[in-house]
Structure 1
């Protein structure tokens, strides 16, 4: 079918078979396209779980789990200006969110300034705040409800304590509106777009799984470049 479509398009391209694609997928380095934003980047971060073994949600609810379910965790970093995914990490499901944030920021070239990094309370750690300050960016991360002031032994701790004082004085709801933390819902929508490719990933090998997820994200960025919906607030 693919070969016939290429012939109709007037393209003399070879079409590899499925076994060739599976064999080469393990070492495939996917280049994720993205559009360069004007000005400093405002990044949104979040993670989601993706299954690669086990029954789907509907089948498990109707018939019960038939076997062991396994999954992986995908961490995404989205640019608010272009809606493109700028960084991605693929980790075991047992890994937390906060240790991955420095690796995500390292995928952003040093020549691109970062204005802000927005994430949820799971990223309220010294490692995350330090990594954000090192990129001369502003952290928009709500403090956990059980959070306490940190010893101000560096710029990261000072910036984090400022957030804590602001949320205690004005309230968490006002702080979120004031800082634009609600924009984090945009990256959650991108998570749903990622899962639209399928309820699970087909590959079982970790390297092949990483390549499969990178291909999906590359397609998502291509779709965004073709056109995105304009969201207008209605009073």
Structure 2
């Protein structure tokens, strides 16, 4: 199959904008740079969460460590003529490890007329410790191997609308409900691979959106449950595969769109990186959330629109 871009000039211009060094800070951000006065007992923080998030975002985009991020922020604010204090690297490290709720502003989706088509998948990210070469060459072992990243993608816009990071032992299906809790829009279709097959996934999706269509390939040896409701979606998938084959079932259910979430994972690893920089688990969660916010901003700058060519001469 061959595809051609229908918006190449706009896409090319957007790709150039991704590398732009032009930064701006709105008056609202300047006024909220300082942390609001707290009403409870304890010390008064100096910087707001927005100021910390801004510094961490710039450091992640430009591949800087915390000390270099501090210097980069100071130089940027000086060039912009803004008299704002810059969080030092110890403050950035401490505040990044602060547990926080998912930032819905980074993963929000503009409401439209219809429900969203959600694609879910998971992948692993390396953390500090003995590398793969040391393990193969010298037999080094590390108790801290990698983290598991779970994400939900909007199939129509390509944006990440929910994410969860767990340790390597967490099952894929166990994180469906935490992902759905972050999605405020109604779900029209939920698509995932065979690792999510099972009643808990179907029940979680239906609880979130009662009329949602769940598309998950059943196991090869799956059989219909005679005691189930005749409208049970999993039974319908099994019957359709047994009657017409798995390939036709994939075409009829648009299961091929699941490749979009795999592309999103590959985009994260190629742009942000395959290894987490933060040391603590809470800071790693913050790093991943900011990384996906960066990808959504880049996608808003440039997204290709491609159509399939009917023959090789097109």
SS of aligned partner of 1:108: coil
Aligned-partner Cα distance in 2 for 1:41–1:12? 43
User: Residue in 2 aligned with 1:81?
Assistant: 156
Kept in 2: contact 1:45–1:78 (CA 8 A) = yes
Which digits, 9 at most, give the CA deviation of each residue in 1:31-79, with x for residues without a partner?
Answer: 234322421100000000111133555x459846544251110100000
User: Residue in 1 aligned with 2:117?
Assistant: 42
Kept in 2: contact 1:54–1:70 (CA 8 A) = yes
| Among 12, 20, 28, the residue aligned to 2:91 | 20
Which digits, 9 at most, give the CA deviation of each residue in 1:101-132, with x for residues without a partner?
Answer: 122112112xx221000000111110001112
User: Residue in 2 aligned with 1:130?
Assistant: 203
State whether structure 2 residue 239 is matched by structure 1 residue 145.
Answer: no
* Closer, same or farther: CA 78–25 of 1 in aligned 2, 3 Å: same
State whether structure 2 residue 287 is matched by structure 1 residue 212.
Answer: yes
Kept in 1: contact 2:126–2:276 (CA 8 A) = yes
Kept in 2: contact 1:129–1:139 (CA 8 A) = yes
* Closer, same or farther: CA 175–96 of 1 in aligned 2, 3 Å: same
**Count of residue correspondences:** 231
User: Residue in 1 aligned with 2:66?
Assistant: none
Higher gyration radius (CA):
2
User: Residue in 2 aligned with 1:231?
Assistant: 306
Kept in 2: contact 1:48–1:74 (CA 8 A) = yes
Aligned-partner Cα distance in 2 for 1:28–1:218? 17
Kept in 2: contact 1:44–1:118 (CA 8 A) = yes
Could you list the runs of 5+ residues in structure 2 that have no partner in the other structure?
Answer: 1-71
Could you list the runs of 5+ residues in structure 1 that have no partner in the other structure?
Answer: none
User: Residue in 2 aligned with 1:174?
Assistant: 248
Kept in 2: contact 1:49–1:72 (CA 8 A) = yes
SS of aligned partner of 1:12: coil
SS of aligned partner of 2:86: coil
Post-superposition offset of 1:204? 2.4
TM-score (norm 2): 0.68
Kept in 1: contact 2:135–2:141 (CA 8 A) = no
User: Residue in 2 aligned with 1:115?
Assistant: 188
User: Residue in 1 aligned with 2:126?
Assistant: 51
Aligned-partner Cα distance in 2 for 1:27–1:174? 48
Aligned-partner Cα distance in 2 for 1:64–1:81? 47
* Closer, same or farther: CA 186–61 of 1 in aligned 2, 3 Å: farther
Kept in 2: contact 1:152–1:158 (CA 8 A) = no
Post-superposition offset of 1:11? 3.4
Aligned-partner Cα distance in 2 for 1:108–1:33? 9
Kept in 1: contact 2:159–2:296 (CA 8 A) = yes
* Closer, same or farther: CA 2–129 of 1 in aligned 2, 3 Å: same
Aligned-partner Cα distance in 1 for 2:306–2:85? 41
Kept in 1: contact 2:125–2:276 (CA 8 A) = yes
Post-superposition offset of 1:234? 2.0
Aligned-partner Cα distance in 1 for 2:303–2:83? 32
Kept in 2: contact 1:124–1:144 (CA 8 A) = yes
Aligned-partner Cα distance in 2 for 1:64–1:193? 32
